[in-house]
Amino acid sequence: EAQVTQNPRYLITVTGKKLTVTCSQNMNHEYMSWYRQDPGLGLRQIYYSMNVEVTDKGDVPEGYKVSRKEKRNFPLILESPSPNQTSLYFCASALGLAGTDTQYFGPGTRLTVL
């Protein structure tokens, strides 16, 4: 089944404790992206990647890191999480260009930083 998977789905952590949210897609998509969703602010892009070893900042990259060592995986890293990073996170992938090809979203990761 073609899908985007994220792990963990739910995470409660404390300020400053490094964490990684994994994202994997099995559709051989070149484009992958991370969004966060917050009440009143909607979905905002954090980082995206056009291909292996090619990443770029989105609208809200501060406090996040990403890597794209393999085509199928695009982990989101929070080196020192803070409470303002409490949010619902989505990973997405698309065959090629973000605006031309349909983006498929993962199930989401609900992160709480205490």
Partner 1 sequence: SQELEQSPQSLIVQEGKNLTINCTSSKTLYGLYWYKQKYGEGLIFLMMLQKGGEEKSHEKITAKLDEKKQQSSLHITASQPSHAGIYLCGADPDRGAQKLVFGQGTRLTINP
Q: Which residues bind partner 1 (CB under 8 A)?
A: 31, 33, 40, 42-43, 45, 48, 50, 56, 58-59, 88, 90, 92, 97-100, 102-108, 110
Cα separation of 91 and 11, whole Å?
15
Cα separation of 60 and 50, whole Å?
18
* Stretch (H or E) spanning 103: none
The β-bridge relationship of strands 109-113 and 54-57 is unpaired
Residue closer to partner 1, measured from CB, 69 or 100: 100
Residue closer to partner 1, measured from CB, 14 or 97: 97
Spatial contact of 24 and 75, defined as CB atoms under 8 Å apart: no
Residue closer to partner 1, measured from CB, 17 or 35: 35
Minimum CB distance to partner 1, residue 99 (Å): 3
Minimum CB distance to partner 1, residue 84 (Å): 19
Q: Rounded to a whole number, what is the largest CA-CA distance in the chain?
A: 39
Minimum CB distance to partner 1, residue 57 (Å): 10
